[in-house]
Structures are given as C-alpha cells and as structure tokens.
C-alpha cells in the first residue's frame, strides 16, 4: 500500500513511533519485513531452546520479541509508505 488516506495503521504507528514523519525510502519496507521475520523466528527459537522450566520474565521476553516481530511484519505488509518510513526511523 502506498497511499496514506486509506491506511488503518497510521494512527497506531504515530502513537508508538512518536518522533514524527521520516523520509520515505525504498529499502525501508524490506528492512522492516526482514527485521520482523528475524524477531519472530529468533523469539520462537529462544523459547524452544530454553531448558528447564521458564520463569515469568523469560516467558514475557519471548512473547514481547515475537509480538514485536508480528507487528513489524504487519506494518511492512499492510502499512502505507509513510507508516513504514516512520516505523523504520531516520536512517
């Protein structure tokens, strides 16, 4: 999606990424998608690799990493170019 007027993610992205609009560049969408994929796979592997009973902190950390990855993939796939640029930052 490249148009901003029909984007449902602009509001949530602006609430979380409070630093304002960033320059739109073509490499930011693949960057967000790859970063999200790495977070989902890495978080799942971290949860699987933990031996013994996990305490609450480990479980919350794994869920936070996986949730970050799923949200990043969602913004990369369904977000407009402005949302992707704002989520990726100023680089």
The pLDDT, as a whole number, for residue 1 is: 52
Q: pLDDT tens digits, residue range 7-63?
A: 888 888 888 888 888 999 999 999 999 999 999 999 999 888 877 787 888 889 999
What global pTM score does this model have?
A: 0.83
DSSP assignments along 25-51, one per residue: -TTHHHHHHHHHHHHHHHHHHHHHH--
Average pLDDT over residues 83-87: 91
Mean pLDDT lowest for which of 2-6, 19-23, 71-75, 86-90?
Answer: 2-6
The pLDDT, as a whole number, for residue 59 is: 86
Q: Tell me how far apart the alpha carbons of residues 55 and 88 are, in angstroms, rounded to a whole number.
A: 32
Angle at 50 between CA 49 and CA 56, to 5 degrees: 140
């Amino acid at each position: 999606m490249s148009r901003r007027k029909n984007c449902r993610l602009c509001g949530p992205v602006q609430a979380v990424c409070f630093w304002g609009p960033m320059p739109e560049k073509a490499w930011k969408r693949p960057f967000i998608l790859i970063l999200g994929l790495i977070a989902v796979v890495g978080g799942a592997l971290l949860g699987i690799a933990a031996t013994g009973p996990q305490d609450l902190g480990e479980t919350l950390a794994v869920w936070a990493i996986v949730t970050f990855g799923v949200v990043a993939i969602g913004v990369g796939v369904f977000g407009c170019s402005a949302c992707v640029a704002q989520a990726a930052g100023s680089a």
